[in-house]
A and B are shown apart, each in its own frame.
Chain A
């Protein structure tokens, strides 16, 4: 009586055993799919003029994840890299490489606006998740805005917009604007003009230098002849160094105050030296920003990489923070695209630059600081515009 029972039970045992075995063998499989590594792709410039920016962004991103033991939503991360060389002609190819070949879950890219446009084009076709850590082209979160594309830096509209209010506040109601004749310069001018006119200022003249020409002498003479209350400008890199030095050498700095988008004095203060003293700029960050978050970030960055963090490192860092928040909400699941996007849209980023949120068009709603160069440092004077949101013209999201 017992025997058959045992046999019976043994048969049942066997079945449960098989079931359990199947369950056991399935479990790790299911676990595998879930705890398999998150594939993060960096499409950044690692060579060329913008190489430093690409490296700073990657460093910042990795530092953010280091705070989580290098994990995203509890899952290990695997990195893939493509050097986009800041070459717009290769943008589509490079974007395809990292999205189709490496099959990354999310792309972090890039610095150059032209390259970002190529990347967005591919992302709109494939629906891949893209986080832009620098490129400022308005269109990225304007007419080309897309549910799967987010920006963690700024739009070109933002940095020059608060300048007008500041300048009129200082009694400078007639200004000359000078920039390079290229897309970013024109976007900067348009947003400056909008803000300046709204504040009650008028632009006496718009001066353009062919990009990337750096011979300013003729235009400085023109400025001296026009005698405006102030000059506002948009330049970056080598052009910013030369413009600020020439402006001072022409004796204009003492008589006509110089204002600019923050990139005028970002990463180039050593080269500008004495000539930059007193120049006022607006940007979403300053190295000397006085908050505990920034102090902690800067010392951690210095310990990790041996160099000082800059605005690009902060943007990379915030890109990491955004992804961390999103994957925490979804429990590490990045395949549930809608949940990830919803989490990012609702994210509140506690950044070294101050707290910021995502606009409807996926661009940061953030404070812009007024900075003045003092003793070779961008000293924060105050908030020029709090929670500035890009108008996202042409975006129907």
Chain B
């Protein structure tokens, strides 16, 4: 492979990985802190994308739509936590899976009623709509660079929030021992509601900023959900750091898996098998470290 092309593919992989991290971080956060397996996470991603599309049309600006979309998704998250999720903390994982699977169906039907089943596109905001020429034939959209920058920024912000603020301390305490934290006078119910809403907002925000590059269509949530679970399982359930590492790993494997042909133990491994490469990776990690690359708690 030509070195320039190799570097561009590396960039593609990192960029894809960062976007995956943004979606998966909400999933791993909700599991790590609250112990809730949230299958509806992909639906929030889809809701975010549809919000970006409909709000951009209604408000006339992508940035305003982004701001309004974040507020709406936080409200949605709080509402869902209050209505459903808070009854599940002491329950079995199976019941959480059943409820959140139900939410997938509800959201997909609501989407169909509210927004229809058509495919939509969201225009890239004017100030980011250019491309930077990388080679003679290939240019790289500025928006994708911006996307990566936002993902890195959010990752840093989350790290700071959880490790270096009072709120983060309470969250970590709540994740370690719910009862003890409560008896210290911290309103754990409110804290959990905040965490859940934050997770929902992260997924929705990922959907919103991904909308201009990924288009908006009905099945988008489920597609992302599967990859998110792969990321979370490889990274270690509940570990944000692990999610970041795993997302980058998946991004690179998926990118190079699609274009590189190589021989493995005498077999020709073809790019056609790229769809499998990600899951093969997951299997290897699970055999090697069943608990994932990074351990469970938020450290």
Q: Given A225-B5, A271-B119, A214 and B140 touching (CB < 8 A)?
A: no
Establish whether residues B117 and A52, one from each chain, have CB atoms under 8 Å apart when the complex forms.
yes
Q: Inside 8 A of B272's CB, which chain A residues have their CB?
A: 181, 208
How distant is B280 from chain A, measured CB to nearest CB, in Å? 13
Interface residues of B in 207-247 (CB under 8 A from A): 213-220, 223
Establish whether residues B137 and A252, one from each chain, have CB atoms under 8 Å apart when the complex forms.
yes
B256 interface residue (CB < 8 Å to A): yes
Q: Inside 8 A of A250's CB, which chain B residues have their CB?
A: 131, 138-141
Q: Given A49-B219, A249-B131, A250-B139, A218 and B256 touching (CB < 8 A)?
A: yes
Q: Given A218-B256, A250-B139, A212 and B271 touching (CB < 8 A)?
A: no
CA distance A208 to B277 in the complex (A): 14
B123 interface residue (CB < 8 Å to A): yes
Instruction: Provide the A212-225 mask, 1 if CB < 8 A to any CB of B, else 0.
Output: 11110111111011
Q: Inside 8 A of A249's CB, which chain B residues have their CB?
A: 124, 131, 139, 141, 143, 213
Instruction: Provide the B136-154 mask, 1 if CB < 8 A to any CB of A, else 0.
Output: 1111110110000000000
Q: Which of A51, A207, A251, A271 contacts B138 (CB 8 A)?
A: A251
Residue of chain B at shortest CB distance from A256 = B137
B8 interface residue (CB < 8 Å to A): yes
Residue of chain A at shortest CB distance from B220 = A238
Instruction: Provide the B176-219 mask, 1 if CB < 8 A to any CB of A, else 0.
Output: 00000000000000000000000000000000000001111111
Establish whether residues B259 and A218, one from each chain, have CB atoms under 8 Å apart when the complex forms.
yes
CA distance A242 to B220 in the complex (A): 12
CA distance A252 to B138 in the complex (A): 6
Establish whether residues A49 and B218, one from each chain, have CB atoms under 8 Å apart when the complex forms.
yes
Stretch at the interface among B11-19, B32-40, B89-97, B289-297: B11-19
CA distance A319 to B220 in the complex (A): 33
CA distance A212 to B215 in the complex (A): 13
CA distance A237 to B117 in the complex (A): 11
Q: Which of A213, A224, A267 contacts B275 (CB 8 A)?
A: A213
Establish whether residues B137 and A224, one from each chain, have CB atoms under 8 Å apart when the complex forms.
yes
Residue of chain A at shortest CB distance from B108 = A48
Q: Which of A224, A246, A268 contacts B135 (CB 8 A)?
A: A224
Using a Cβ–Cβ cut-off of 8 Å, how many residues does chain B contribute to the interface with A?
47
CA distance A272 to B136 in the complex (A): 25
A273 interface residue (CB < 8 Å to B): yes
CA distance A202 to B124 in the complex (A): 36
Q: Which of B2, B12, B131 contacts A225 (CB 8 A)?
A: B2
Residue of chain A at shortest CB distance from B138 = A224
B118 interface residue (CB < 8 Å to A): yes
Q: Given A218-B258, A221-B12, A250-B138, A237 and B119 touching (CB < 8 A)?
A: yes
Establish whether residues A212 and B121, one from each chain, have CB atoms under 8 Å apart when the complex forms.
no
Q: Which of B9, B223, B271, B275 contacts A221 (CB 8 A)?
A: B9
Establish whether residues B13 and A218, one from each chain, have CB atoms under 8 Å apart when the complex forms.
yes
Establish whether residues A271 and B120, one from each chain, have CB atoms under 8 Å apart when the complex forms.
yes
Q: Given A215-B254, A218-B256, A221-B12, A245 and B138 touching (CB < 8 A)?
A: no
Q: Given A218-B259, A271-B215, A238 and B119 touching (CB < 8 A)?
A: yes
Establish whether residues B112 and A47, one from each chain, have CB atoms under 8 Å apart when the complex forms.
yes
Establish whether residues A218 and B121, one from each chain, have CB atoms under 8 Å apart when the complex forms.
no
CA distance A218 to B138 in the complex (A): 12
Residue of chain B at shortest CB distance from A241 = B215
Residue of chain A at shortest CB distance from B53 = A271
Q: Given A224-B135, A224-B137, A251-B131, A268 and B219 touching (CB < 8 A)?
A: no
Using a Cβ–Cβ cut-off of 8 Å, how many residues does chain A contribute to the interface with B?
43
Residue of chain A at shortest CB distance from B137 = A224
B76 interface residue (CB < 8 Å to A): no
Q: Inside 8 A of B124's CB, which chain A residues have their CB?
A: 249
Q: Which of A51, A210, A214, A240 contacts B117 (CB 8 A)?
A: A51
Interface residues of A in 287-337 (CB under 8 A from B): none
Residue of chain B at shortest CB distance from A208 = B272
Instruction: Provide the A198-234 mask, 1 if CB < 8 A to any CB of B, else 0.
Output: 0000000001111111110111111011010000000
Residue from B119, B133, B138, B220 with most neighbouring chain A CB atoms (10 Å) = B119
Residue of chain B at shortest CB distance from A268 = B119
Q: Inside 8 A of A221's CB, which chain B residues have their CB?
A: 5, 8-9, 12, 138, 259
A197 interface residue (CB < 8 Å to B): no
Q: Inside 8 A of B214's CB, which chain A residues have their CB?
A: 214, 242
Establish whether residues B5 and A217, one from each chain, have CB atoms under 8 Å apart when the complex forms.
no
Q: Which of B118, B143, B254 contacts A218 (CB 8 A)?
A: B254
Q: Inside 8 A of B255's CB, which chain A residues have their CB?
A: 217-218
CA distance A394 to B137 in the complex (A): 43
A255 interface residue (CB < 8 Å to B): yes
Q: Inside 8 A of B138's CB, which chain A residues have their CB?
A: 220-221, 224, 250-252
Q: Given A238-B220, A255-B137, A222 and B119 touching (CB < 8 A)?
A: no
Establish whether residues B219 and A238, one from each chain, have CB atoms under 8 Å apart when the complex forms.
yes
Residue from A211, A219, A252 with most neighbouring chain B CB atoms (10 Å) = A219
CA distance A249 to B124 in the complex (A): 10
B75 interface residue (CB < 8 Å to A): no
Q: Given A221-B8, A242-B214, A215 and B117 touching (CB < 8 A)?
A: no
B88 interface residue (CB < 8 Å to A): no
How distant is B270 from chain A, measured CB to nearest CB, in Å? 9
Residue from B118, B139, B215, B274 with most neighbouring chain A CB atoms (10 Å) = B215
Residue of chain A at shortest CB distance from B141 = A249
Establish whether residues A241 and B16, one from each chain, have CB atoms under 8 Å apart when the complex forms.
no
Q: Which of A251, A268, A270, A273 contacts B139 (CB 8 A)?
A: A251
Establish whether residues A273 and B275, one from each chain, have CB atoms under 8 Å apart when the complex forms.
no
How distant is A308 from chain B, measured CB to nearest CB, in Å? 13
CA distance A255 to B124 in the complex (A): 22
Contacts from A to B (Cβ < 8 Å): 47-49, 51-52, 181, 207-215, 217-222, 224-225, 227, 237-238, 240-242, 245-246, 249-252, 255-256, 267-268, 270-273
15 other A-B residue contacts (CB within 8 Å) besides A242-B213, A242-B214: A48-B218, A210-B274, A212-B223, A215-B254, A217-B255, A221-B5, A224-B135, A224-B137, A241-B121, A242-B215, A249-B141, A252-B137, A252-B138, A270-B120, A273-B121
- The 7 A-B pairs at the shortest CB distance, nearest first, are namely A210-B275, A251-B139, A238-B217, A271-B121, A224-B138, A241-B215, A249-B141
Report 13 cross-chain contacts, Cβ distance below 8 Å, ordered by A residue: A215-B254, A218-B9, A219-B259, A237-B119, A241-B119, A241-B121, A241-B217, A242-B215, A251-B131, A255-B136, A270-B120, A270-B121, A273-B121
